[in-house]
């Protein structure tokens, strides 16, 4: 098979290129049909119970995802000027398309329950009209502070900040709506700072910034890789091949993904970034090999045949191991990760195949003259060659030291792994300096929080929520949850009942308690509905049939760790104090969904990583027909994964979605160098039958190819380090770390081990009968 | 010749202006008639009212007895409501003194705590007992608050109707524009469409059933659909009696606690 493919490319280069171009155009034409999806909710299956219950809660209680606008006054937000500005800003926000006008929470829209003239119970907007005096401004602040439903939520205790909550028809308008709000506050804002925060905004903005980022970093990486290749090979025509292979692989994979009807999620948007290095790696090996061999062979076709022949098996295995790393993602319970894994795997297979056909096809079209120039620049000297010789000498002379260092690294890393913190927060996908992060910090410092979880009480029959026992229970749960410092406020039906009762009895503070009579609760709630209170406000907390009730748990921190702590606190209270008979209690809310998919992701990724590790190990034993070589080949991979994740553990970077998914990439890429190294070392050793001579040759050829790869990939992704989005920085850093660590381990530890145990690993055969095993691997490759 | 032309032009112009004024007059006149026919039938009235508040597949019910006394045709009115269902609010009573020139006055009696409490009446657009009808839908918005235009004569479900557009004279939260289909025969509104400031239709009133009671054409089943919230309320009037000789003293605090048994059973 391997000869057939390359032969055809050598004989009919134009046909191969033409067919590849047609297929590429076909896939490129799928791009306009792209469907983008940035909703982290889709990290869970559509029918996942947590997600279903969240949607159910939203529709049962008419809840919408919201963004929060924070106004921080200097020194106070409760002045005539500021309140009137906020009044007018709110009026304009009401005009924005996609805003749920009825549910906006702002001083001019929320109802206040209070005593009117003649002892009347009044429910009316907190700020019905523009105001004129500072007394009115302070009165509004005092009304907020006197209202458990608004306190801390609408204004900070000190009156410096005001929050407006803007509910949205759907999450995917939040970025646009926030831009329109920025325009309004910029025009009408006056002397105050305005912040816009909220999970939907972070999620939606991440989506739009992500695609901008993609449009920048994928081409930037391509450009830098191109420049680096040019530095190495100095021949434009030669280095076109890897670029073509990389681009085609990306277009085929993305085109097929779009054609298959999948949405491009945050994960799948990274497919190009993942495929480019993998595609380039194979081509660099072929180019390096051709470059090194052409000098000796001096025949174009023969050089290509020889190189493909030499590299076919290692390339097959490096690709298959990477496929194994990514295809294992198909086992995770997270749909976008599955899609990502499958299509990266498809792209890798494509890249492997295209490397085998496109590289020869392009190479054959290059004149012998160009090729001569091409090698004359490179061969022999150069800093890379010198460094490689240094590595060779180091691993030969200090082999035991290297092994000792490796053992220490593994031990230190083992401890570091135990330090890993699992945490995620979509807001923190933005850099510290990003406006969304700043808004998140400022608002959660001043106000009750921008993250909303819900705790839903499901009763067994209508009117169950009027039961005083149930309300008392909800109230005690509120007090328990509020002990957690990230819980900014809890709001539920008990607060409304108590507030109505308090105002009904002419603001008698003795009446600021739940009644113990069900009829009274029923009538107080009816009074609220009768006296101008918007029933829709009430039905955010209880269903119209009073069979379910919803407790709002407002959080100042959206970190999954912090949210989990609150959920755990609630759950242990529920376990110790079972709810009244017939009442079930369940969580909902975006932060809760996030902790749920994180939990599934962590367990899913763990089993996916373990299974692909085992698969790769088996593949290695099979490839090398040797258990010991199988074990050795796993070392660069093992040490790289351990070192990178231990580093993450030590510096306290949370193990989040990108970090989790990158374990597959680490696994797939860091085995590659070992495969090339060991496969070639054994082939060479069979020929030379001498350790020293084999080392000379491998550091000259394969060593240079590996070091070129390390440089190209590590440097090629440096632009990603300057991204405003943290996951991109993470991915860029990973590429760098994977290349450097696995490159170093391959070029130092593997030779050191070989040197130390060479008698067992590379037995010197008497009489030089050498080609037997080499043929075996050829046969085996044919069978695949 | 020239003078004659000028005169003719002036006459035509005058006629046009008059015609325009006449149409405005007619539209307002129609709305006034409609208001009186719908809200001021007879001098007083007593009815059993059943309300069905529908949202999706869920339904809530309210039942109450309603008493109404007109103090002046098109002017002050008094309403008294005695709740029977839901059962946990039974015996709860509610009273409104409507005064078109000023804010309404409202009182509620809470039997569970045996307390009469005046309640605010500032916002006429708030929901009436949680239904899709507002207080104003129940007691009426005075025709003089809007500018009315007769858009066309049309036929609605085989009834000849005037189609009238009403636009509030002052900025108003309840609606930005309303289109009424007023039955030419009875002057009753058969349908009303409410539009918000983005000119999106948000609510539809429908007279579902019209009957003659004591010689007075009466809408006995009405509905209000909220297109935004996707909710709908049906209000069914039964045992309607007009001109029962209700007196002002029935509409006082005393009767909130002790309902007038001759009317409230």
The arithmetic mean of pLDDT across residues A315-328, rounded, is 88
Domain segments of chain B as ranges: 26-257
Predicted pLDDT of residue B233 = 95
Q: Are A411 and A404 in contact (CB under 8 A)?
A: no
Cβ contact (<8 Å) for A529 and B228?
Answer: no
Cβ contact (<8 Å) for A120 and B60?
Answer: no
Poorest-pLDDT segment among A234-238, A423-427, A703-707, B19-23: B19-23
**Selection from A79, A550, A20 nearest residue A247 by Cα:** A20
Task: State both tokens at A2.
Answer: 């391997």
Of residues A755 and A300, more confidently modeled: A755
Separation of alpha carbons B240 and B237, rounded Å: 7
Predicted pLDDT of residue B241 = 92
> A106 pLDDT exceeds 80?
yes
Cβ contact (<8 Å) for A124 and B113?
Answer: no
Provide the 3-class DSSP secondary structure of residue A721.
Answer: helix
pLDDT digits over A228-238, tens only? 888 877 777 77
- Rounded to the nearest 10 degrees, what angle do helices A627-651 and A657-670 cross at? 150
Q: Are A685 and A761 in contact (CB under 8 A)?
A: no
| Structural Rg of chain B based on CA atoms | 21
Main-chain phi, psi angles of B91, to 5 degrees = 80, -5
The arithmetic mean of pLDDT across residues B54-64, rounded, is 88
Predicted pLDDT of residue A734 = 87
User: How far A490 CA lies from chain B's nearest CA (Å)?
Assistant: 25
pLDDT digits over A561-590, tens only? 999 999 999 999 999 999 999 999 999 998
Chain A nearest-CA residue for B120:
A122
Residues linked to residue B211 through DSSP beta bridges, in sequence order: B218
Predicted pLDDT of residue B208 = 94
Instruction: Give residues 228 to 257 of B whose Cβ lies within 8 Å of A.
Output: 228-229
Task: State both tokens at A431.
Answer: 């850099």
pLDDT digits over A495-507, tens only? 999 988 988 887 7
Predicted pLDDT of residue A772 = 41
pLDDT digits over A143-170, tens only? 898 888 888 889 988 889 999 999 999 8
> A776 pLDDT exceeds 50?
no
Enter the pTM of the model.
Answer: 0.82
pLDDT band at A777 (very low <50, low <70, confident <90, very high): very low
Q: Are A649 and A419 in contact (CB under 8 A)?
A: yes
The arithmetic mean of pLDDT across residues A122-150, rounded, is 87
Nearest to B118 among A119, A128, A545 (CB): A119
User: How far A146 CA lies from chain B's nearest CA (Å)?
Assistant: 19
- The mean of the pLDDT values for chain A is 86
Contact B53/A at CB under 8 A: yes
- List, edge to edge, every strand of the sheet that includes A451-458: A487-491, A548-555, A451-458, A584-589
DSSP letters for A232-295: HH--HHHHHHHHHHHHHHHHHHHHHHHHTT--B-TTGGGHHHHHHHHHHHHHHHHHHHHHHHHH
Separation of alpha carbons A487 and A569, rounded Å: 11
> A600 pLDDT exceeds 90?
no
DSSP letters for A437-496: HHHHHHHHHHSS-SEEEEEEEE-SSTTGGG-HHHHHHHHHHHHHHTTSTTEEEEE-HHHH
Predicted pLDDT of residue A783 = 35
pLDDT digits over A384-420, tens only? 788 888 888 898 888 899 999 999 999 999 999 999 8
Cβ neighbours of residue A336 closer than 8 Å, sequence gap 6 or more: A37, A42, A43, A265, A266, A267, A268
Q: Spell out a b/e string for B64-93, using b for 16 or more CB atoms within 10 Å of the CB, else e.
A: bbbbbbbeeebeebbbbbbbbebebbebbb
Of residues A216 and A685, more confidently modeled: A685
User: How far A495 CA lies from chain B's nearest CA (Å)?
Assistant: 19
pLDDT band at A771 (very low <50, low <70, confident <90, very high): very low
> A369 pLDDT exceeds 80?
no
pLDDT band at B55 (very low <50, low <70, confident <90, very high): confident
Cβ contact (<8 Å) for B89 and A523?
Answer: yes
> B5 pLDDT exceeds 70?
no
**Tokens 């990306």 found at:** A250
DSSP letters for A617-641: HHHHHHHHT-HHHHHHHHHHHHHHH
Chain B nearest-CA residue for A516:
B112
Separation of alpha carbons A542 and A549, rounded Å: 4
Cβ contact (<8 Å) for A529 and B122?
Answer: no
Task: Name the pairing type of β-strands B105-110 and A192-197.
Answer: unpaired
- The mean of the pLDDT values for chain B is 86
B86 upstream amide cis, omega within 30 of 0: yes
Q: Is A672 exposed, middle or buried (0-12, 13-18, 19+ CB in 10 A)?
A: buried
Predicted pLDDT of residue A773 = 41
Cβ contact (<8 Å) for A535 and B127?
Answer: yes
User: How far A494 CA lies from chain B's nearest CA (Å)?
Assistant: 18
> A626 pLDDT exceeds 50?
yes
Cβ contact (<8 Å) for B88 and A124?
Answer: no
> A760 pLDDT exceeds 90?
no
> A780 pLDDT exceeds 50?
no
Predicted pLDDT of residue A532 = 65
Q: Are A248 and A763 in contact (CB under 8 A)?
A: no
Cβ neighbours of residue B63 closer than 8 Å, sequence gap 6 or more: B48, B49, B50, B51, B83, B84, B85
Q: Are A115 and A170 in contact (CB under 8 A)?
A: no
The arithmetic mean of pLDDT across residues B53-69, rounded, is 90
Predicted pLDDT of residue A343 = 94
Main-chain phi, psi angles of A185, to 5 degrees = -70, -30
Contact B54/A at CB under 8 A: no
pLDDT band at A62 (very low <50, low <70, confident <90, very high): confident
The arithmetic mean of pLDDT across residues B243-262, rounded, is 89
The arithmetic mean of pLDDT across residues A304-320, rounded, is 86
Q: Are A644 and A658 in contact (CB under 8 A)?
A: no
Provide the 3-class DSSP secondary structure of residue A765.
Answer: coil
Chain A nearest-CA residue for B109:
A527
**Tokens 């209508």 found at:** A462
Separation of alpha carbons A90 and A129, rounded Å: 12
Contacts of A545 in chain B (CB under 8 A): 58, 60
Percentage of residues in chain A having pLDDT higher than 90: 34
> A483 pLDDT exceeds 60?
yes
The arithmetic mean of pLDDT across residues A687-716, rounded, is 86
Of residues B122 and A18, more confidently modeled: A18
Domain B26-257 superfamily per CATH: Lipoprotein localisation LolA/LolB/LppX (2.50.20.10)
Task: State both tokens at A195.
Answer: 């912040």
> B226 pLDDT exceeds 70?
yes
Predicted pLDDT of residue B21 = 47
**Selection from A661, A596, A610, A656 nearest residue A421 by Cα:** A656
Task: State both tokens at A604.
Answer: 């899913």
Predicted pLDDT of residue B22 = 47
Q: Is A766 exposed, middle or buried (0-12, 13-18, 19+ CB in 10 A)?
A: exposed
User: How far A492 CA lies from chain B's nearest CA (Å)?
Assistant: 19
Cβ contact (<8 Å) for B118 and A118?
Answer: yes
The arithmetic mean of pLDDT across residues A128-147, rounded, is 89
> B24 pLDDT exceeds 70?
no
Of residues A372 and A95, more confidently modeled: A95
Nearest to A522 among B88, B106, B108 (CB): B88
Separation of alpha carbons A679 and A479, rounded Å: 66
Provide the 3-class DSSP secondary structure of residue A107.
Answer: coil
Predicted pLDDT of residue A779 = 35
> A730 pLDDT exceeds 60?
yes
Q: Are A239 and A233 in contact (CB under 8 A)?
A: yes
Predicted pLDDT of residue A381 = 58
- In angstroms, what CA-CA distances link A548 with A241, A364, A539, A584, A668? 64, 74, 10, 9, 50
Interface predicted TM-score of the whole assembly (ipTM), two decimals: 0.85
Chain B nearest-CA residue for A466:
B88
Main-chain phi, psi angles of A723, to 5 degrees = -65, 155
- In angstroms, what CA-CA distances link A56 with A62, A165, A169, A542? 10, 22, 16, 13
């Amino acid at each position: 098979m391997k000869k057939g493919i390359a032969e055809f490319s050598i004989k009919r280069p134009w046909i191969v290129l033409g067919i590849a171009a047609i297929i590429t155009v076909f896939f490129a034409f799928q791009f306009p049909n792209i469907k983008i999806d940035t909703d982290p909710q889709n990290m869970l299956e559509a029918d996942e119970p947590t997600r279903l219950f969240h949607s159910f809660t939203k529709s049962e209680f008419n809840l919408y995802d919201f963004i929060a606008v924070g106004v921080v006054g200097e020194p106070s937000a409760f002045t005539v000027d500021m309140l009137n500005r906020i009044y007018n800003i709110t009026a304009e926000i009401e005009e924005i398309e996609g805003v749920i006008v009825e549910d906006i929470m702002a001083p001019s829209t929320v109802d206040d329950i209070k005593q009117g003239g003649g002892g009347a119970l009044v429910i009316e907007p907190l700020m019905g009209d523009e105001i004129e005096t500072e007394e009115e401004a302070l009165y509004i602040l005092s009304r907020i502070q006197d209202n458990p439903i608004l306190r801390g939520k609408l204004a900070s205790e000190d009156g410096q900040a005001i929050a407006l909550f803007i509910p949205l028809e759907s999450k995917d308008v939040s970025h646009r709506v926030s831009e329109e709000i920025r325009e309004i506050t910029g025009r009408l804002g006056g002397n105050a700072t305005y912040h816009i925060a909220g999970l939907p905004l972070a999620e939606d903005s991440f989506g739009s910034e992500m695609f901008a980022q993609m449009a920048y970093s994928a081409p930037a990486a391509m450009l830098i890789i191109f420049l680096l290749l040019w530095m190495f090979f100095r021949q434009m025509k030669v280095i076109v091949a890897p670029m073509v292979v990389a681009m085609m692989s990306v277009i085929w994979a993305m085109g097929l993904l779009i054609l298959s009807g999948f949405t491009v999620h945050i994960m799948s948007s990274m497919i190009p970034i993942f495929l480019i290095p993998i595609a380039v790696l194979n081509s660099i090996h072929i180019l390096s090999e051709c470059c090194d061999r052409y000098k000796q062979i001096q025949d174009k076709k023969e050089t290509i045949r020889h190189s493909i022949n030499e590299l076919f098996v290692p390339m097959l295995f490096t690709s298959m191991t990477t496929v194994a790393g990514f295809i294992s993602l198909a086992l995770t319970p997270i749909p976008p990760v599955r899609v990502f894994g499958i299509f990266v795997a498809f792209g890798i297979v494509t890249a492997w195949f295209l490397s085998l056909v496109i590289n020869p096809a392009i190479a054959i079209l290059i004149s012998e003259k160009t090729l001569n120039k091409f090698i004359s620049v490179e061969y022999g000297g150069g800093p890379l060659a010198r460094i490689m010789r240094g590595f060779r000498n180091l691993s030969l002379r200090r082999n035991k030291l290297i092994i000792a260092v490796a053992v220490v690294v593994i031990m230190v890393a083992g401890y570091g792994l135990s330090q890993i913190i699992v945490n995620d927060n979509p807001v923190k996908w933005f850099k510290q300096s990003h406006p969304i992060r700043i808004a998140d910090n400022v608002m959660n410092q001043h106000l009750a929080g921008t993250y909303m979880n819900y705790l839903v009480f499901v009763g067994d029959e209508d009117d169950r929520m009027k039961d005083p026992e149930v309300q008392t229970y909800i109230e005690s749960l509120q007090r328990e949850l509020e002990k957690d410092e990230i819980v900014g406020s809890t709001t539920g039906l008990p607060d409304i009942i108590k507030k109505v009762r308090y105002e009904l009895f002419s603001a008698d503070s003795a009446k600021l308690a739940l009644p113990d009579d069900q009829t009274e609760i029923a009538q107080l709630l009816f009074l609220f509905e009768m006296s101008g209170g918007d029933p829709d406000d009430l039905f955010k907390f209880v269903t119209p049939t009073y069979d379910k009730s919803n407790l709002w748990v407002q959080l100042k921190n959206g970190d999954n760790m912090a949210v989990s702590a609150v959920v755990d606190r609630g759950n242990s209270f529920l376990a110790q104090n079972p709810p009244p008979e017939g009442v079930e209690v369940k969580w909902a809310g975006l932060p809760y969904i996030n902790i749920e998919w994180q939990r599934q992701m962590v367990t899913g990724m763990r089993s996916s990583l373990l299974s692909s590790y085992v698969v790769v190990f088996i593949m290695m034993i099979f490839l090398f027909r040797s258990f010991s070589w199988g074990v050795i080949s796993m070392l660069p991979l093992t040490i790289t994964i351990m070192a990178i994740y231990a580093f993450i553990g030590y510096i306290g970077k949370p193990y989040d979605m990108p970090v989790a998914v990158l374990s597959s990439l680490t696994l797939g890429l860091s085995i590659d160098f070992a495969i090339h190294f060991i496969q070639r070392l054994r082939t060479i050793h069979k020929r030379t039958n001498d350790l020293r001579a084999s080392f000379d040759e491998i550091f000259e050829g394969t060593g240079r190819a590996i070091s070129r790869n390390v440089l190209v990939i590590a440097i090629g992704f440096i632009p990603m380090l300057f991204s405003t989005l943290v996951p991109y920085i993470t991915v860029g850093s990973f590429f760098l770390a994977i290349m450097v660590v696995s490159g170093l381990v391959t070029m130092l530890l593997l030779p050191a081990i070989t040197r130390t145990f060479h008698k067992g690993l590379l037995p010197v055969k008497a009489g030089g009968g050498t080609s037997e095993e080499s043929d075996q691997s050829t046969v085996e490759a044919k069978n695949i | 010749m020239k003078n004659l032309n000028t005169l003719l032009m002036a006459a035509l112009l005058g006629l046009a202006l008059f015609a325009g004024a006449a149409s405005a007059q007619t539209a307002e006149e129609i709305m006034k008639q409609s208001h009186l026919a719908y809200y001021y039938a007879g001098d007083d009235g007593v009815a059993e009212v059943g309300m069905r508040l529908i949202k999706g597949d869920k339904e809530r019910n309210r039942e109450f007895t309603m008493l109404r006394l007109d103090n002046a045709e098109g002017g002050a009115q008094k309403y008294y409501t005695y709740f029977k269902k839901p059962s946990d609010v039974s015996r709860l009573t509610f009273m409104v003194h409507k005064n078109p020139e000023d804010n309404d006055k409202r009182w509620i009696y809470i039997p569970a705590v045996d307390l009469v409490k005046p309640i605010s009446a500032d916002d006429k657009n708030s929901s009436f007992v949680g239904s899709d009808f507002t207080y104003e839908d129940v007691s009426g918005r005075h025709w003089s608050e809007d500018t009315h235009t007769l858009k066309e004569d049309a036929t609605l479900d085989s009834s000849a109707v005037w189609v009238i557009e009403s636009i509030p004279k002052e900025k108003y939260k309840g609606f930005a524009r309303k289109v009424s289909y007023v039955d030419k025969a009875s002057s009753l509104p058969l349908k009303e469409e409410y539009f918000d400031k983005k000119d999106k239709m948000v609510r539809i009133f429908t007279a579902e059933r019209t009957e003659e009671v004591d010689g007075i054409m009466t809408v006995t089943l009405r509905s209000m659909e909220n297109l935004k919230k996707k909710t709908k309320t049906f209000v069914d009037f039964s045992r309607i009696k007009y001109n029962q000789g209700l007196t002002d003293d029935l509409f006082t605090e005393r009767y909130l606690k002790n309902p007038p048994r001759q009317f409230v059973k």
